[in-house]
Amino acid sequence: MTSYERVLNTIEGKGIDRVSAAPEIFGLSARINGYTIKQYVTDAQTLALCQIKSQQVFGCDIVFAFADTALEAEAVGCRLYYPDNAYPYIVDHIIKTSKDIDKLKIPDPFRDGRMPLVVEACRSMHNELKDDCVVTACVPGPISLAAQLSGLETFMFLIADDLDSVEKILNFSEDVIMRYAEALLKSGAHSIMLFDPVASPAVVPPSVFKDLEAPRLKRMTDALRAMGSKFLWLSIAGATQKILPLFSGIGIDLATVDYVVPISDAIRLTEGVIINGNIKPLSFVTAQPDEIKQIAINCLNEAKGRFILGSGCEMPLESKPENIGALIDAAVSSPL
Amino acid sequence: MIITTVFSIIITMNGYSLEHLITAVVAGQNDRAVSIAEVLLKNGTSPESLIQDGLTVALRSLDAKCTAEEFNLLEIMLAGRAMMTVMDNVIATHLLSSSTIEPVPEKTIIIGTIKGDIHELGKNVVKMMLKAQGLRVIDIGKDASPESFVKAAMLESARFIGVSSLITLTMPFIREIRPLLNDTGLDNVKILAGGAAIQQASPSDLNVDFVAQDVFDAVHYLNGLTS
Ligand code: B12
């Protein structure tokens, strides 16, 4: 059974040979293969190569077309700073006052900023891995992009002071994301992950998720499925218990939960959604492989099926590579 | 005696007491908090009392409301903003040079997000809350090197350093602060750490004195030391 078949069968509730394993390995793949993060996020071929090589070495079932969380905001016009060996970050947010919102232009994914780079990486990964391994492209959720465009603190205060502007920024963000996601799907991505860390109750109140984000996510997942995304994946870190019951209504197939959410709770709260998770990020750095394997086996036992083993959060850049192996090993060696 | 009586009459006449200020700050009502504070000052409440019995009480009351399951960040940010607006627009103009927050080491903390990390929101929330506790908080920003924490502690004669980080990658830098302090003879400076990723670590992992699970955890720790 190929990785692709294993993941798709899991999603569709069909038979599988073993549980799929899909830890969120992004920049870590650069570190493992001897590239800097700057090279990884600025060169399509490096990104594709590092993902493919890590997949071949460790046998993960999904590779990721994703550079960093500032990429879309940069394409809209935010200025970034690029450290040599860490992710770039925004130094100048494009929305300073509500007047700036109407001036924003939706970027062209084939031309603006580094969007074309990820589009190209998608194409390379698909060409190389064919339909043997899933290529998932990651895009932000509207709240996460909106917070990047205005700056997080400004965005939070806008929620309290000026909901009209918040709605406008979210609508714009949704348009940016959809256009970008469409380009990624056209270029070989099998599926889209909505990476939405700011939508977490750790940051915005659950009522904001319910009223402002959930309806948008539903609209987006419907459209993305129509565009050919084989499945839809939502990743939100932190204690998400309060918003998990909404997940079954927003059209997602797979949801990542962080280590602070017990897998049994996640399964109970999200009917019909497959759960992916959930190991403490720090343990990939500090724990020994046999400990990681045991923690992963515990996850598998707690999940009892309808589950994809993963990291629950981005795997830290300084994770021990052996610990990726240990995670995959748990999936390979555990009986169904 | 007579003065105090006159005083309370004025307060009642204007309809405002410290209670009103507290309610407005907790509710995050910026403009209302400012106008109430102005009236209170005009009617003779001292700036010190406004801070101690008004603003500080308001932000402390959030402590009881915020448990691990019920942590409303926006509510805290709005209350913090109301507090800071009162501090900047009302109290600062009345105090001019005479600061109520004495620049003494026991009340001074250097705070920053460590090198390699740019998450700032948590640090800013902590800063605000510690100010409400009457601490003098020196913010050295984000992506700040271990050396810059130590240098600031030396220049500002601080007794505490607060390090924030949300990504695990920064742990080696956090560990460097203690030996740098010792080299500089600042052995008695206490280091507190906090933030989503490093709160998974123990104080000994990080070579610090305390790892806070949230901002109130840090407040309790500091109160235990300074009282
Ligand atoms: C907002 C956010 C961002 C914003 C930051 C904006 C800003 N100016 O701060 C942006 C989008 C820029 C961002 C970028 C990145 N992020 Co980020 N981000 C978050 C998010 C959504 C929320 C963090 C937050 O502000 N929480 C609210 C505050 C109030 O909580 P807090 O910081 O923990 O603070 C509280 C306590 O911890 C404590 N505290 C905090 N500091 C201190 C200090 C002291 C002294 C004390 C006593 C207490 C204390 O008090 C606070 C109040 O109680 C989290 C995910 C989540 N849902 O938690 C990810 C998260 C932290 N980010 C993460 C990552 C990986 C990144 C990136 C590396 C992503 C990337 N691949 O490009 C970059 C970082 C680049 C860099 N070099 O640093 C990961 C970290 C995981 C890990 N493995 O280490 C998380 C968990 C998301 C994820 N699922 O992967 N991020």
pLDDT in tens, A48-76: 999 999 999 999 999 999 999 999 999 99
pLDDT bin (cut points 50, 70, 90) of residue A203 is very high
User: Mind listing the pLDDT tens digit for each residue in B108-164?
Assistant: 999 999 998 989 889 998 998 888 888 899 999 999 999 999 999 999 999 999 999
B121/A152 Cβ within 8 A: yes
Whether residue A294 is predicted with pLDDT greater than 80 in this model: the reply is: yes
What atom in ligand 1 is closest to the CA of residue A315?
Answer: 83
* A313 Cβ below 6 A of ligand 1: yes
Q: What is the pLDDT of residue B101?
A: 55
* pLDDT of res. B12: 46
pLDDT in tens, A71-105: 999 999 999 999 988 999 999 999 999 999 999 99
Shortest alpha-carbon distance between residue B133 and chain A (Å): 22
- Give A 72-101 residues with CB within 8 A of chain B: 86, 89
Q: What is the pLDDT of residue A335?
A: 81
Average pLDDT of span A264-268: 94
Q: How far is CA B124 from the centre of its chain?
A: 9
Work out the percent of chain B whose per-residue pLDDT is above 90: 50
Helix (H, G, I), strand (E, B) or coil at A75: helix
Contacts of A285 in chain B (CB under 8 A): 168, 171
Query: Does A160 contact chain B (CB < 8 Å)?
Result: yes
Residue among A153, A280, A317 whose CB faces B121 most closely: A153
| Residue A115 clears pLDDT 90, i.e. is over it | yes
Distance from the Cα of B137 to chain A's closest Cα (Å) equals 19
Question: Phi and psi for B212 in degrees, rounded to 5?
Answer: -90, 135
Q: pTM higher than 0.80, yes or no?
A: yes
Pairwise CB contact (< 8 Å): B168 & A281: yes
Q: Which of the residues A157, A278, A323 would you substitute to probe the B interface, choosing the one with the greatest number of B C-beta atoms within 10 Å?
A: A157
Q: Is B138 helix (H, G, I), strand (E, B) or coil?
A: strand
Calpha distance B81→B75 (Å, rounded): 10
DSSP-derived secondary structure for A138-188:
EEE-HHHHHHHHH-HHHHHHHHHH-HHHHHHHHHHHHHHHHHHHHHHHHTT
Among A29-43, A234-248, B51-65, whose mean pLDDT is lowest? B51-65
Q: Read off the DSSP letter of residue B51.
A: I
Question: pLDDT at residue A162 above 70?
Answer: yes
Q: What is the pLDDT of residue B134?
A: 81
Position B169 confidence tier, pLDDT thresholds 50, 70, 90 = confident
pLDDT tier at B3 (50, 70, 90 boundaries)?
very low
pLDDT at A103: 96
Phi–psi pair at A99, nearest 5 degrees:
-65, -25
Residue with tokens 């206490």: B190
pLDDT value at B103 more than 70: no
pLDDT band at B95 (very low <50, low <70, confident <90, very high): low
CA distance B81 to chain A (A): 9
pLDDT at A137 over 70: yes
Question: What domains can you pick out in chain B, each with its CATH number?
Answer: 2-98 (1.10.1240.10), 104-226 (3.40.50.280)
Q: Does A318 touch chain B (CB under 8 A)?
A: yes
Q: Does the structure show a pLDDT above 50 at A292?
A: yes
| pLDDT at B51 (0 to 100) | 83
pLDDT at A176 over 50: yes
Averaged over A259-286, what is the pLDDT? 93
Look at residue A306 in the predicted model and tell me its pLDDT: 82
Residues in contact with B64: Cβ distance below 8 Å, sequence separation at least 6, in sequence order:
none
CA distance A181 to A194: 10
For each of the domains in chain A, give its residue range(s) and CATH number, in order of start. Answer: 3-333 (3.20.20.210)
Q: Does residue B8 surpass a pLDDT of 50?
A: no
pLDDT for residue A240:
95
Q: Is pLDDT of B36 > 90?
A: yes
B118 half-sphere exposure, CB direction, 13 A CA radius: 15
Q: Which of A282, A284, A320, A323 would best serve as a mutation to test chain B binding (most B beta carbons within 10 A)?
A: A282
Please report, rounded to a whole number, the percentage of residues in chain A having pLDDT higher than 70.
100
Q: Do A282 and B72 touch (CB under 8 A)?
A: no
Question: How large is the average pLDDT for residues B77-87?
Answer: 90
Q: What are the chain A neighbours of B76 within 8 Å (beta carbons)?
A: none
Residues A70, A53 contacting (CB under 8 angstroms): no
Q: What is the distance between the alpha carbons of residues A27 and A21, in angstroms, rounded to a whole number?
A: 18
pLDDT at A332: 94
Looking at residue B100, what is its pLDDT? 52
Highest-scoring range by mean pLDDT, B6-10, B49-53, B104-108, B191-195 = B191-195
What's the whole-number mean pLDDT along residues A316-334? 94
- For chain A, the average pLDDT equals 96
Using one digit for the tens of pLDDT, what is the confidence trace for A103-112?
999 999 999 9
